[in-house]
């Protein structure tokens, strides 16, 4: 039986506390008025106020010129016209500045919510991806992986926590506590409103609050019900005298995978793609799936190596680590294939309503956009191409850290441009949310590993798994 080290528990709690404090600080320091936004922009050297100051000075200089040349009535009339025009120019400039400040205010207020959402979804997708990979092992009756079943179960223990957190965040959005989902603004559906959006109104049969939450509940219930039943039946198989529970798990896992592949796509549309309601991609569900799987397998490998370094999992050998690293490599290539397929087709066709998605990210998020491509493709290929490197534990850990960081930035790129726009940077809420959920994830996963033996003893393929060699 695994015992949770006291240092690891303390480490997790410290991360959670520090993360929560930074996250709260991020919410507290978010501006509440346009005046605060103006001060923050001036402090960052935005220059917006200076340009409008020049407009006002130009208007004033025109006034002086008009007064100096008012020698006749006709000149007076002309001067009056100039004054009116200058007044209109100043008023328009002021209105433009106010509109810009109001827009920036909403973006800055969205930022801590977006940071919280990104971190919550990132760790949710790790747990969900692990559950899908676990189901694939049962449905395929794989002979190499049964010695890793308890590790996978430990990681999926985070799924109920993640599901509750995600549901709460979605409910807060539906009840307008935050405004990160643009399509939830009721004015967009009102034909009499100046904010009316015909395209979003046309999607309202799918994108509406009640149906949005109902779908979320269906997804989350399906995932968690499978997790509970599969875990229970695997435990019963440990003490069974036949393979009855193994066979039930096989059928259940096959059925779950059908449910998963449909709902994962819809979940991706709802929870990520709908941040940009004017844009869509038929590859998007697969793209999120690929990122989800590579993150999940990476975490399985990292937890396995960690437990082995502590003297546990003596039945796990280098060939198991090699196979996990092989999956990390393979899904990294698959993710890149989907990224390129989506990007190349949209960019080459150059249809305005499609290409705007990538234009925004290339222009305003250039470093994270291309940086995550290098982290998620070039780095894994260079480090994991060699078969021998896949057996080196510290090599797998190092590559895994880069892959996870790269896919966090990938989720960041999918969410932030639509919710925060140009007002993004890495600060208190981003770091705080990441630390908090990392601490919670580690505490839940490693605590769950203490609840059952680390080997599924009665699985029909466990002997093959113990002696697995590649």
Domain that holds residue 150: 108-466
The pLDDT score that the predictor gives to residue 73 is 43
pLDDT of residue 32: 80
DSSP string, 421-460: TT-----HHHHHHHHHHHHHHHHHHHHHTTSS-SS-TT-T
Of residues 84 and 9, more confidence is placed in 9
Task: Identify the residue with better confidence: 288 or 83.
Answer: 288
Residue 141 has pLDDT above 50, yes or no: yes
Q: At what angle do helices 284-309 and 318-349 cross, to 10 degrees?
A: 160
Residue 116 confidence (pLDDT) above 70? yes
- Computed over every residue of the chain, the mean pLDDT equals 88
Q: Provide φ and ψ at 312, rounded to 5°.
A: -100, 175
The pLDDT of residue 95 is: 59
Dihedral over alpha carbons 393, 396, 398, 400 (to 10 degrees): -140
Q: Characterise 164 by phi-psi region: left (phi > 0), alpha (psi -120 to 50), beta (else).
A: alpha
Backbone angles phi, psi at 277, to 5 degrees: -70, -15
Average confidence (pLDDT) over 118-141: 97
Residues 413-446 pLDDT 10s: 999 999 998 888 888 999 999 999 999 999 999 9
pLDDT for 41 = 74
Q: What confidence tier does 87 reach under pLDDT thresholds 50, 70, 90?
A: low
Residues 396-410: tens digit of each pLDDT = 999 999 999 999 999
Residue pair 417/360 in contact by the 8 Å Cβ criterion: yes
400, burial (CB in 10 Å: exposed 0-12, middle 13-18, buried 19+) = buried
How many angstroms separate the CA atoms of 310 and 40, rounded? 49
| Mean pLDDT to the nearest integer, 337-350 | 93
Does some domain include residue 259?
A: yes
Tell me phi and psi for residue 377, to 5 degrees.
-125, -65
Q: What is the DSSP letter of 375?
A: I
Average pLDDT in the 89-95 region? 54
Let me know if residue 386 belongs to a domain. yes
- Report whether pLDDT(155) > 70: yes
d(CA 115, CA 108): 11
Confidence of residue 89 (pLDDT cuts 50, 70, 90): low
In a domain, 342, yes or no: yes
DSSP 47: -
Cα 321 to Cα 396: distance, rounded to the nearest angstrom: 8
Q: Given this model, what pLDDT does residue 160 score?
A: 97
Res 25: pLDDT: 95
Judged by average pLDDT, the poorest of 38-42, 59-63, 348-352, 383-387 is 59-63
The secondary structure of residue 315, as a DSSP letter, is: T
Residue 232 lies in a domain: yes
Confidence band of 57 (pLDDT split at 50, 70, 90): very low
Number of domains in the chain: 1
Indicate whether 179 pLDDT > 80. Answer: yes
Can you give the length of the chain in residues? 470
Residue 79 lies in a domain: no
Q: Tell me, what's the pLDDT at 93?
A: 54
Q: What is the pLDDT of residue 108?
A: 87
In degrees and rounded to multiples of 5, residue 293 shows phi and psi of: -70, -40
pLDDT over 70 percentage in the chain = 89
Give the residue from 467, 294, 321 showing the smallest Cα distance to 375. 294
234 part of a folded domain: yes
Q: Which two three-digit tokens encode residue 218? A: 């269906």
Tokens of 270: 């709802």
Q: How confident is the model at residue 261 (pLDDT cuts 50, 70, 90)?
A: very high
Position 457 scores a pLDDT of 85
High-pLDDT (> 90) share of the chain, %? 72
Separation in Å, CA 290 to CA 271, 368, 409: 16, 19, 15
For 161-201, the DSSP string reads HHHHHHHHHHHHHHTTSS---GGG-GGGG-TTSTT--HHHH
Residue 426 lies in a domain: yes
Task: List the one residue out of 447, 470, 420, 467 whose CA is nearest residue 31.
Answer: 420
Q: Is the pLDDT of residue 178 over 50?
A: yes
Average of per-residue pLDDT across 367-377 = 94
Task: Evaluate whether residue 37 is within a structural domain.
Answer: no
**Range from 40-49, 88-97, 220-229 that averages highest in pLDDT:** 220-229
Work out the pLDDT band at 99, boundaries 50, 70, 90: confident
Predicted confidence band of residue 59 (pLDDT cuts 50, 70, 90): very low
**Is the CB of residue 34 less than 8 Å from the CB of residue 95?**
no
Phi, psi for 386 (deg, rounded to 5): -75, 130
C-alpha to C-alpha distances, 80 to 66, 71, 76, 85, nearest whole angstrom: 8, 13, 6, 9
Q: Is the pLDDT of residue 4 over 70?
A: yes
What is the mean pLDDT of the segment spanning 307-330? 94
If DSSP codes are grouped into helix, strand and coil, which group holds residue 150?
A: helix
> Rounded to an integer, what distance in angstroms lies between the CA atom of residue 234 and that of residue 457?
10
Task: Kindly state the average pLDDT of the residues 318-327.
Answer: 94
Residue-level pLDDT at 49: 38
């Amino acid at each position: 039986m695994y015992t949770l080290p006291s240092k690891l528990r303390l480490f997790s709690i410290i991360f959670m506390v520090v993360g929560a404090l930074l996250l709260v600080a991020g919410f507290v320091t978010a501006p509440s008025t346009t005046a605060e936004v103006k001060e923050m922009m001036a402090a960052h050297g935005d220059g917006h106020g200076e340009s409008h100051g020049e407009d006002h000075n130009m208007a004033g200089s025109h006034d002086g010129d008009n007064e100096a040349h008012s020698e006749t009535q006709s000149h007076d009339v002309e001067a009056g016209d100039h004054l009116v025009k200058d007044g209109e120019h100043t008023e328009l400039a002021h209105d433009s500045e106010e509109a810009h400040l109001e827009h920036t205010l909403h973006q800055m207020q969205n930022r801590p919510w977006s940071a919280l959402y990104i971190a919550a979804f990132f760790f949710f997708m790790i747990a969900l991806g692990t559950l899908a990979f676990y189901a694939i092992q049962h449905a395929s009756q794989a002979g190499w992986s049964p010695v890793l079943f308890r590790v996978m179960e430990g990681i999926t223990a985070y799924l109920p926590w993640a599901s509750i957190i995600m549901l709460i965040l979605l409910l807060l959005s539906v009840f307008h506590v935050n405004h990160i989902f643009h399509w939830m603004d009721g004015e967009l559906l009102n034909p009499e409103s100046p904010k009316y959006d015909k395209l979003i109104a046309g999607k309202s049969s799918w994108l509406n609050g009640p149906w949005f939450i109902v779908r979320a509940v269906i997804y989350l219930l399906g995932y968690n019900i499978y997790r509970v039943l599969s875990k229970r039946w695997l435990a019963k198989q440990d003490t069974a005298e036949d393979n009855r529970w193994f066979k039930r798990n096989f059928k259940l896992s096959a059925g779950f995978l059908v449910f998963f592949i449909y709902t994962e796509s819809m979940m991706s549309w709802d929870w990520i793609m709908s941040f940009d309601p004017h844009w869509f991609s038929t590859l998007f569900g697969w793209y999120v799936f690929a990122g989800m799987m590579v993150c999940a397998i990476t975490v399985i490998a990292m937890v396995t190596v960690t437990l082995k370094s502590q003297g546990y999992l003596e039945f796990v050998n280098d060939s198991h680590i090699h196979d996990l690293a092989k999956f990390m490599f393979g899904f990294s290539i698959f993710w890149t294939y989907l990224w390129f397929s989506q990007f190349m087709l949209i960019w080459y066709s150059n249809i305005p309503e499609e290409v705007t998605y990538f234009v925004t990210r290339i222009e305003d998020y250039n470093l994270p956009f291309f940086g995550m491509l290098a982290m998620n493709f070039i780095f894994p290929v260079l480090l994991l191409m060699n078969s021998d490197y896949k057996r080196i534990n510290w090599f797998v850990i190092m590559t895994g850290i880069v892959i996870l960081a790269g896919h966090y930035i990938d989720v960041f790129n999918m969410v932030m441009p639509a919710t925060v726009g140009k007002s993004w940077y890495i600060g208190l809420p981003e770091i705080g949310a990441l630390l908090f959920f990392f601490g919670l994830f580690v505490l839940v996963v490693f605590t769950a590993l203490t609840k059952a033996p680390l080997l599924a003893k009665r699985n029909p393929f466990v002997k093959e798994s113990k002696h697995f060699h590649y």
